């Protein structure tokens, strides 16, 4: 799979790989230089545990999840 280095020094990780490995914005990686012209990219464990709503909102298909208001069932 090909990608390119952008003018600001960033690489594009193809959407297919991001979806397959559940990579979200903010995910950290480690880059190792193996030898001249060869590099290894490693996904680091995520230190942040997303809540259910944040996880649903991170879906790559925009606007599919809509929050609904709810009323309390507590009786006082």
* pLDDT tens-place values along the chain, 76 residues long: 889 899 999 989 999 999 998 888 888 899 999 999 999 999 988 765 567 777 776 666 666 666 777 777 776 6
Q: Could you tell me if residue 43 is inside a domain?
A: yes
Collect all residues with Cβ–Cβ distance below 8 Å to 58 and sequence separation of at least 6: 24, 25, 50
What pLDDT score was predicted for residue 59? 67
What pLDDT score was predicted for residue 26? 83
What pLDDT score was predicted for residue 68? 75
Q: Distance (Å, rounded) from C-alpha 47 to C-alpha 13?
A: 20
Q: Could you tell me if residue 62 is inside a domain?
A: no
Counted domains in the chain: 1
Q: Could you tell me if residue 1 is inside a domain?
A: no
Q: Could you tell me if residue 21 is inside a domain?
A: yes
Residue-range definition of the domain harbouring residue 25: 15-57
What pLDDT score was predicted for residue 40? 94
Q: Could you tell me if residue 24 is inside a domain?
A: yes
What pLDDT score was predicted for residue 69? 76
């Amino acid at each position: 799979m090909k990608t390119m280095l952008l003018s600001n020094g960033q690489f594009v990780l193809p959407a297919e790989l991001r979806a397959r490995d559940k990579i979200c914005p903010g995910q950290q990686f480690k880059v190792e230089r193996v030898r001249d012209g060869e590099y290894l990219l490693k996904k680091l464990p995520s230190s942040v545990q997303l809540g259910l709503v944040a996880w649903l909102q991170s879906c790559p298909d925009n606007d599919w999840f809509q929050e609904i208001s709810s009323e309390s069932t507590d009786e006082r």
